Amino acid sequence: MDRAALIVIDVQNDFCPGGALAVADGDAVVPVINRLMPLHSLVVLTQDWHPPRHASFASTHAGRRPFDEVEMPYGRQTLWPDHCVPGTPGAEFHPDLDTTRAALVLRKGSNPAIDSYSAFFENDRRTSTGLGAFLRARDVGRVVLTGLATDFCVLYSALDAVTEGFHVTVIEDAVRGIDVNGSVAAAWTAMATAGVTRA
């Protein structure tokens, strides 16, 4: 199980400048990721894929605004602007991202009642996306994470990959964060504590 997989998290138009939930400088990860792809024999792309009126959207909750927090059956949930709705331009990959090398495109967050930051588990922490099994079936022992955003989907994916038994590296030049109240620094600390390598 020595094979390494490159996992590209949510490099979608809505998370890039001009998008509904834009990450500052988010599109800067694209050329870095494109350069990394030929160095890995297995590439996985993920997409946030939320139906209209998803439970994580602030617009679904009367009187709530983006970045408010609410209590959901599975725990605390940050509310977001409507984003990555299938059929909208925002849900599509950034046009400069090389998608031709992907062995798998994994779409997450399609359950209207549960958000899904991680590429491995939904936010209830129990429902698997199947990615761990997919990687193990292909003799992957190491995962290299890139994409958006450092402090949410990359963070949760990294921590879950460790829990799933993978050796995990996050490429600093290939991620960008939202940074809500210092959440990027907190994310790097949490990943380091879990044994994630920062490269």
Which of 27, 48, 153, 160 is flagged as catalytic? Answer: 153
Which of 10, 27, 151, 160 is flagged as catalytic? Answer: 10
Assess contact for 183 and 153: CB atoms under 8 A: no
**Residue 10 annotated among the catalytic residues of the structure:** yes
Q: What span, in angstroms and rounded, lies between the C-alpha atoms of 39 and 191?
A: 24
**Residue 108 annotated among the catalytic residues of the structure:** yes
Written as six digits, the tokens of 57 are 């959207």
Contacts of 126 (CB under 8 A, 6+ apart): none
Asked if residue 22 has a cis previous peptide bond (ω within 30° of 0), the answer is no
Q: Give the closest residue to 119 by CA, choosing from 4, 2, 35, 6.
A: 6
Cα distances (angstroms) measured from residue 180 to each of 84, 127, 130, 161, 177: 20, 26, 29, 23, 9
Cα distances (angstroms) measured from residue 63 to each of 57, 60, 84: 12, 9, 22
**Exposure string over 166-198, b if 16+ CB within 10 A, otherwise e:** bbbbbbeebbbbbbeeebbeebbebbeeeebee
Which of 14, 16, 48, 108 is flagged as catalytic? Answer: 108
Known catalytic residues are 10, 108, 153
